[in-house]
């Protein structure tokens, strides 16, 4: 067969592949080539030869009869030293591109040298010479959350906890945290979310087990949230976790769903009981205060009466002693004086008429004023009845 084939194949004689080729006309496909046309094969071959020339090699190979070319090798359009310099510059550029990195303001980077901790870098453009130093960027200011009791973490995330008074409460709370030490965060915790979840749930169960149900449902939520934050933070600090607990959001505290209706009825009954107890206490305080006031008033009146009687007795005794002293000095004068004083007191309120008959004028006819006596008796009876009515009231 001829040395030159219809697709430009050729080359030295004695090539066994030429014997196996079938004689095909130009433009036809060869078997087993998958429909590739000769022009595309030629284009690919020329491209590979040009690539060899650019890389400093020689083209042509052992095909002296190629179309549009001889058997001699071509020269590279660039000298060998220039190609080496360009290659080195390209390698340096690639190395710098792999070593320089940017850290955002909300991030910190932890650099590792041969897998060991090397340094923590702040925001900006940093250099980590690859492959000796690698880095990991960590968001330190972003607040992350762990929800407990919402059911999002699976069937075990129920939030049911036992209180100190043997009741069950259904809690839902959220732990908000961020990263305080990136190196500790990366090296000391395998799964931060699960660690915070486990620590928070354990601390909450401990706090709830020491509390009663009523304060948990009403007034103690803020205090429980503060105690939980302190407990979780202390535990994570003991782990060197590099995590800061920002706050705890106490979202919900309810009885279990199965008994919530009955629990509300019990709560309503307790509130009604408390209301009645407060009303009874108020009435008792009112009555007690009134009784105490009346008792104090009676006691004061008794004290006043006692003081009055004692003072009157002491005054009478003193007056009697003074009269006795005067009587011992002048008995007759003292007797007459005492007689006149006594008669003055007795006759002071007596309605009397004195008729002087010393001169013998007996012409005065005694007159008995019956109408005046009747009037005086009626007024006296009215006065007594009024006094009796006032005393009965």
What percent of the chain is modeled with pLDDT above 90?
23
Rounded CA-CA distance 296/1 in Å is 147
Contact between residue 8 and residue 60 where contact means Cβ atoms under 8 Å apart: no
Helix 260-329 to helix 331-346 angle, to the nearest 10 degrees?
A: 130
What is the DSSP code (8-state) at residue 225?
Answer: H
Least confident of 148-157, 185-194, 219-228, 355-364: 355-364
Please report the sign of the dihedral spanned by the C-alpha atoms of residue 251, residue 255, residue 256, residue 258. Answer: negative
Q: How far is CA 157 from the centre of its chain?
A: 20
pLDDT in tens, 34-48: 444 455 556 556 655
Q: What is the pLDDT of residue 364?
A: 56
**Nearest residue to 229 via CA among 257, 197, 265, 203:** 203
For the cut 80, the answer to whether the pLDDT of residue 376 exceeds it is no
Q: What is the pLDDT of residue 46?
A: 63
Least confident of 85-99, 176-190, 259-273, 371-385: 371-385
Q: What are phi and psi of 106, to 5 degrees?
A: -90, 5
Verify cis geometry, omega within 30 degrees of 0, for the bond prior to 131: yes
For the cut 60, the answer to whether the pLDDT of residue 19 exceeds it is no
For the cut 90, the answer to whether the pLDDT of residue 5 exceeds it is no
DSSP assignments along 100-165, one per residue: EEEE-TTEEEEEEETTEEEEEE-SEEEE--TTTEEEEEEESSS-EEEEESSSTT-TT---EEE-TT
For the cut 90, the answer to whether the pLDDT of residue 302 exceeds it is yes
Rounded CA-CA distance 126/265 in Å is 65
Contacts of 64 (CB under 8 A, 6+ apart): 10, 11, 12, 70, 71
For the cut 60, the answer to whether the pLDDT of residue 130 exceeds it is yes
Q: What is the pLDDT of residue 196?
A: 92
**Nearest residue to 186 via CA among 119, 247, 124:** 119
Q: What is the pLDDT of residue 176?
A: 94
Q: How far is CA 17 from the centre of its chain?
A: 86
**Nearest residue to 23 via CA among 42, 4, 3, 5:** 5
Confidence of residue 177 (pLDDT cuts 50, 70, 90): very high
Average pLDDT over residues 374-391: 62
- Higher pLDDT residue, 121 or 289? 289
pTM for this model (two decimals)? 0.48
Average pLDDT over residues 175-198: 90
Contact between residue 160 and residue 137 where contact means Cβ atoms under 8 Å apart: no
For the cut 90, the answer to whether the pLDDT of residue 276 exceeds it is yes
Average pLDDT over residues 300-310: 93
Q: What is the pLDDT of residue 281?
A: 93
For the cut 90, the answer to whether the pLDDT of residue 301 exceeds it is yes
What percent of the chain is modeled with pLDDT above 70?
67
Rounded CA-CA distance 50/20 in Å is 29
Confidence of residue 97 (pLDDT cuts 50, 70, 90): confident
Contact between residue 176 and residue 246 where contact means Cβ atoms under 8 Å apart: yes
Average pLDDT along the chain: 75
For the cut 70, the answer to whether the pLDDT of residue 100 exceeds it is yes
Rounded CA-CA distance 152/157 in Å is 7
Q: Which residues pair with 145 in a beta bridge?
A: 176
Average pLDDT over residues 338-357: 75
For the cut 80, the answer to whether the pLDDT of residue 153 exceeds it is no
Q: What is the pLDDT of residue 340?
A: 86
Contact between residue 176 and residue 203 where contact means Cβ atoms under 8 Å apart: no
If you compute the radius of gyration of the chain from its CA atoms, what whole number of angstroms results?
A: 62
Average pLDDT over residues 51-79: 48
- Higher pLDDT residue, 256 or 358? 256
For the chain, the residue count is: 393
Average pLDDT over residues 252-265: 80
pLDDT in tens, 205-220: 999 999 888 888 888 8
Q: Helix, strand, or coil here: 76?
A: coil
């Amino acid at each position: 067969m001829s040395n030159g084939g219809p697709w430009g194949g050729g080359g030295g004689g004695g090539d066994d592949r030429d014997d196996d080729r079938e004689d095909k006309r130009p433009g036809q496909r060869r078997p087993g080539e998958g429909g590739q046309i000769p022009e595309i094969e030629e284009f690919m071959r020329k491209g590979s030869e040009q690539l060899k020339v650019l890389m400093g090699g020689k083209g042509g190979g052992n095909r002296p009869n190629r179309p549009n070319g001889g058997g001699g090798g071509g020269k590279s359009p660039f000298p060998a030293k220039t190609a080496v310099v360009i290659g080195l510059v390209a390698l340096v550029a690639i190395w710098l591109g792999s070593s320089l990195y940017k850290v955002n303001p909300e991030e910190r980077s932890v650099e590792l040298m041969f897998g060991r901790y090397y340094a923590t870098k702040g925001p900006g453009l940093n250099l980590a010479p690859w492959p000796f130093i690698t880095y990991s960027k960590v968001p330190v200011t972003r607040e992350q959350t762990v929800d407990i009791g919402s059911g999002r973490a699976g069937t075990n995330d129920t939030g049911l906890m036992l209180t100190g008074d043997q009741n069950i409460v259904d809690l839902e709370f959220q732990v908000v945290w961020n990263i305080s030490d990136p190196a500790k965060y990366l090296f000391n915790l395998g799964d931060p979310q699960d660690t915070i979840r486990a620590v928070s749930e354990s601390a909450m169960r401990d706090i709830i087990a020491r509390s009663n149900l009523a304060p948990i449902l009403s007034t103690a939520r803020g205090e429980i949230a503060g105690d939980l934050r302190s407990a979780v933070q202390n535990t994570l600090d003991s782990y060197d976790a590099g995590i800061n607990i920002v706050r705890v959001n106490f979202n919900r505290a309810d009885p279990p769903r199965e008994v919530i209706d009955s629990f509300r009825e019990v709560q309503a009954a307790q509130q009604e009981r408390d209301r009645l107890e407060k009303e009874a206490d108020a009435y008792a305080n009112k009555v007690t205060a009134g009784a105490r006031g009346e008792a104090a008033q009676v006691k004061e009146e008794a004290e006043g009466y006692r003081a009055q009687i004692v003072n009157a007795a002491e005054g009478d005794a003193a007056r009697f002693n003074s009269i006795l002293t005067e009587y011992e000095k002048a008995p007759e004068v003292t007797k007459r004086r005492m007689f006149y004083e006594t008669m003055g007191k007795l006759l002071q309120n007596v309605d009397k008429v004195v008729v002087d008959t010393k001169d013998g004028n007996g012409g005065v006819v005694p007159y008995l004023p019956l109408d005046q006596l009747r009037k005086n008796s009626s007024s006296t009876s009215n006065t007594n009845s009024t006094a009796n009515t006032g005393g009965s009231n």
